[in-house]
Structure 1
Amino acid sequence: MTTASASGRDDAGRAHLAVNPVFTSEPADIPRNSLPAGDLAPDIAYQVVHDELMLDGNARLNLATFVTTWMEPTAEKLMAECFDKNMIDKDEYPRTAALEQRCTRMLAELWHAPSAERAPGCSTTGSSEACMLAGLALKRRWRHARHEAGLPADRPNLVMGVNVQICWEKFANYFDVEPRLVPMEGDRFHLDPAEAAARCDENTIGVVAVLGSTFDGSYEPVADICAALDRLEAERGWSVPVHVDGASGAMVAPFCDPDLAWDFRLPRVASINTSGHKYGLVYPGVGWVVWREPSALPEDLVFRVNYLGGDMPTFALNFSRPGAQVVAQYYTFLRLGFDGFRRVQQNCRDVATALAGRIEGLGPFRLLTRGDQLPVFAFTVQDDVTAYSVFDVSAQLREAGWLVPAYTFPANRTDLAALRVVVRNGLTHDLADLFFADLGQAVGTLAKQAKPVRGRESASFAHGTGERR
């Protein structure tokens, strides 16, 4: 399904694209929404597409996205050499398949799996697919256990915070699982252990703990959640596994918070996913999911296909996809190593905390988080600021090229509207200085207003849960 652009200006009322006469000796009109009758010279086609894309925002100034926007030229060269490799053809591209297996073993070791060699795992197109695979494994394990006990298995549910990414709402919808959402309360913007345990019952397939909420960058207390579920099992006999959605934090915490227990060191953690294309420092799209041990991934979910002459075990929602991102992930692991990743992620955190502190000192803003977990922080306007809203600030910054999302929080904090800054590799202290200067100018301009011009209806950014558009 395709839709018009968010701006509503996709076709600008014209049925054809007009080609600059400098590009071609004869005037040419190119239909926008149907195949041209004839072909174009490659340089003309390139220039037409290139010129239209000039209207996109500058990815490096996009402080909304978690997705990697810069890689080294050597990584880009390596990816270009692999664009034509189909990741699924493991028999034809055995070395690419081997690099995928090495990456999963590296992640299993990084996340303290009991045996990195035996822990199942795979690459995906991103964390959304990885989450769906992990959710399917939770549901299938629960169903097997119910059938073995002679109990019905027709009412599965999944417990999670209302702050989860939209992929979990999709999983519940697509695979007939009841989502049990724990709302926010007061200054708690993520999952509460006691509230999570209280929503579990014999039909709970698992609890999702998010290591790095997209709303404010905070880690959910995975160890405390596991402890609450330990107590629940002792009292009621329900063994509820935990999946850690580490889309961002699973590639930050091992390097910046090595003593934090959130991963397979906790026996109740059954699986972990991450986005290679976020703090894994690879261009989109690649994700990863790793299970604690073979028993955590039911064998009947794994297909063994005789494909192009080889036996190929596969567990995926997608089939054909490029191998370039997997190769780039392996390159990045080799290129940086543990110390390199620690240096990059710590620098991102240093930029985030320093920038958050300066914004707090500016006066009109109140910090909700400080960027000291994920290098991400959220802030809102002070109660006594009546001339403008966070949505006005977002719009004013956009005029300077910065993309900073303004959004409202979900139940039970729909009264709270905030701005969020994501610091990624490539946002240096110097760029942060430029952003802070533009923010100061924006505040000076907006302070001259009599009242806010924009409200929550102008927000163009939605995290997911309960925010269907």
Structure 2
Amino acid sequence: MALSRAQTSSGESLISSTFASRYVRTALPRFRMPEQSIPKDAAYQIINDELMLDGNPRLNLASFVTTWMEPECDKLIQDSVNKNYVDMDEYPVTTEFQNRCVNMIAHLFNAPIGEDETAVGVGTVGSSEAIMLAGLAFKRKWQNKMKAEGKPHDKPNIVTGANVQVCWEKFARYFEVELKEVKLREGYYVMDPEKAVELVDENTICVAAILGSTLNGEFEDVKRLNDLLVAKNAETGWDTPIHVDAASGGFIAPFIYPELEWDFRLPLVKSINVSGHKYGLVYAGVGWVIWRNKEDLPDELIFHINYLGADQPTFTLNFSKGSSQIIAQYYQLIRLGFEATRTSCKIAGTTQRCSGRESRRWATFTWCPRTRACRSWPSPSRTRPTTRCSRWSRACAASAGLFRHTQCPPTPSTSPSCVWSSVRTSAAAWPSASSPTSRRSWWRWTRMPRSMGITSM
């Protein structure tokens, strides 16, 4: 190990580098800026040595983020790493690239725009920011409607499944929106459209459907949800819309399931978000949010700045951000095109099916394949293991679904309901199905409390 940590008599934590000691004779304070500068070689050596303790990004199969791009795109990223995207007057071509990406993705999602029209959307630092922006648009539009009708507008709510990503909970808490969650049940780990519509009331700003659940990659039935909401809106006179969280599935469905109706072909789908750094094949972090038309994004949410002279409309949660990911997304869209992107999706599907076959070799797990998903993960079998411990953990490997043994205390579980917790692993950690395990090595699973949305059948 190249790094060692020293503790002073006063209790101050220091960092000392073995290999950088030829440049630096004294240890560096860990939590304070050092008084003196150090040579650039020493700074690089110290940081590089400590970074060796990080995992290898190429072996990180658990977080669904792109970890490799072509050298040509790497060079474009490096050449633009010092460009601040918000300076649109300084970097008009980068702005043009974002507009092209928005329009390409809008057409991919079947937005009702003509060939000469411009799509409504924006690039973000990821799907979390995109969801915040879409949620704010829904909230403001609902408030304007309720004010015009002379009705209370202080208790908005949003309907989602209990399987939503944490960014939806953040949106609800940060922007004071009640979150109504449709509880899941064993064997059905996505939002039930019928139960979701039952929770809709006059104060519902939208219903959020997921195309690629965080738990198992499954696509929720957006068309069924749309049809049920159309009927309820006609019955009640409401106009409850739908947002599709396509962070994972947005760059999968158009290429693998083109006949699947989940996007702007459905009349109540008003906005869609997608992550460019997942199956958009770009390094973290870039995301996109697309609106159906201009009327779905209230004008009062758009700010106009003129710091550099010209008027610049902006709708983001932050101000400054890098341009490199926007440029990288444009590179991937024009470099791969529809055909190569579809091939990439098919390869991911092949990996998914291969991992499914391999996981069936363990009797502890029951494979629950879905007809349409961006990835599939196994579910725990009802058959309890013979060991004293019946806690299990899924070490998800994106579309690969790899697993490893983990140590856990011999505490029995009392409920069959569970949700998987993500653990990083690699192919090298994948145990043989026939290999014996030690007495203290078990598969572990983490039980989700009922209060978080899981219910038993």
**When the two structures are superposed, what TM-score results if normalisation uses the length of structure 1?**
0.85
Q: 2:446 matched to 1:456? A: yes
Q: Quickly say closer, same or farther: Cα 1:206–1:21, change in 2 above 3 A.
A: closer
Query: 1:419: Cα distance to partner?
Result: 6.5
Residue identity in the other structure for 1:52: E
Aligned to 2:380: 380
What SS does the corresponding residue of 2:184 show, helix, strand or coil? coil
Distance 1:337 1:26, change over 3 A: closer
Choose from 24, 31, 41 the match for 1:33. 31
Determine the structure 1 residue equivalent to 2:111: 113
Q: Distance in 1 between matches of 2:370 and 2:5?
A: 42
Once the two structures are overlaid, the 10-residue window that deviates more, 146-155 or 205-214, is 146-155
Pair 1:226–1:66, CA change in 2 (3 A): same
Query: What amino acid does structure 2 have at the position aligned with 1:441?
Result: S
Shift of 1:180: 0.5
The answer to whether the Cα contact below 8 Å between 2:218 and 2:375 also exists between their aligned partners in 1 is no
Q: What displacement does 1:371 show?
A: 8.6
Which protein has the bigger helix share? 1
Q: More displaced, 205-214 or 64-73? A: 64-73
Any unmatched runs of 5+ in structure 1? Answer: 1-9, 407-412, 423-431
1:289 aligned residue: 289
Residues 420 and 48 of structure 1: is their aligned pair in 2 closer, same or farther, counting only changes over 3 Å? closer
Q: Which residue of 2 aligns with 1:428?
A: none
Q: Percent identity?
A: 42
Pairs within 5 Å for 1:305-384? 305-369=305-369, 373-380=373-380, 383-384=383-384
Partner of 1:239: 239
What corresponds to 2:96 in structure 1?
98
2:6 & 2:261 partners in 1: Cα distance? 53
Correspondence list, 1:70-469, <5 A: 70-115=68-113, 117-369=117-369, 373-380=373-380, 383-387=383-387, 389=390, 391=392, 394=395, 415-418=417-420, 435=427, 438-441=429-432, 444-446=435-437, 448-449=438-439, 452=442, 456=446
Tell me the secondary structure at the aligned position of residue 50 of structure 2.
Answer: helix
Q: Distance in 2 between matches of 1:12 and 1:111?
A: 56
Q: How many residues align?
A: 433
What residue is the counterpart of 1:7 in the other structure?
none
For residues 433-455 of structure 1, the C-alpha deviation after alignment (integer angstroms, 9 at most, x for no partner) is x83x7433377343x42785866
Structure 1 residue 421: deviation in Å?
9.2
Cα distance change, pair 118–128 in 1 and its aligned pair in 2 (3 A): same
- Give the conservation status (yes or no) of the 8 Å contact 1:245–1:272: yes
TM-score, scaled to structure 2: 0.87
The 2-side partners of 1:302 and 1:364 are apart by 52
Contact map agreement 1:146 1:153 (CA 8 A) in 2: yes
Q: Structure 1 residue 363: deviation in Å?
A: 3.4
Q: Judging changes above 3 Å, is the alpha-carbon distance between structure 1 residues 188 and 454 closer, same or farther for their aligned structure 2 residues?
A: closer
- Which residue identity lines up with residue 18 of structure 1 in the other structure? S
CA 1:27–1:159: 2 relative to 1, 3 Å: same
Rounded Cα–Cα distance in structure 1 between residues aligned with 2:379 and 2:331? 36
Aligned partner letter, 1:347: I
Distance 1:390 1:367, change over 3 A: farther
Query: Is the CA contact 2:157–2:204 (under 8 Å) kept in the aligned structure 1?
Result: yes
2:418, 2:445 within 8 Å by CA — same for their partners in 1?
no
**Gap change, CA 1:361 and 1:420, over 3 Å in 2:** farther
Superimposed CA distance per residue, residues 213-254 of structure 1 (whole angstroms, 9 cap, x where no aligned partner): 010110010000001101111221111000000001011100
Letter in 1 for 2:288: W
Question: For 1:43, which of 41, 44, 54 is the aligned residue?
Answer: 41
CA distance in 2, matches of 1:334, 1:127: 22
Alpha-carbon deviation of 1:346? 1.1
Per-residue deviation at 1:379?
3.6
The aligned residue for residue 55 of structure 2 is 57
> Is the contact between residue 349 and residue 371 of structure 1 (CA under 8 Å) also seen in structure 2?
no
Distance 1:301 1:392 in 2: 43
Distance 1:141 1:11 in 2: 55
Q: Which residue of 2 aligns with 1:410?
A: none
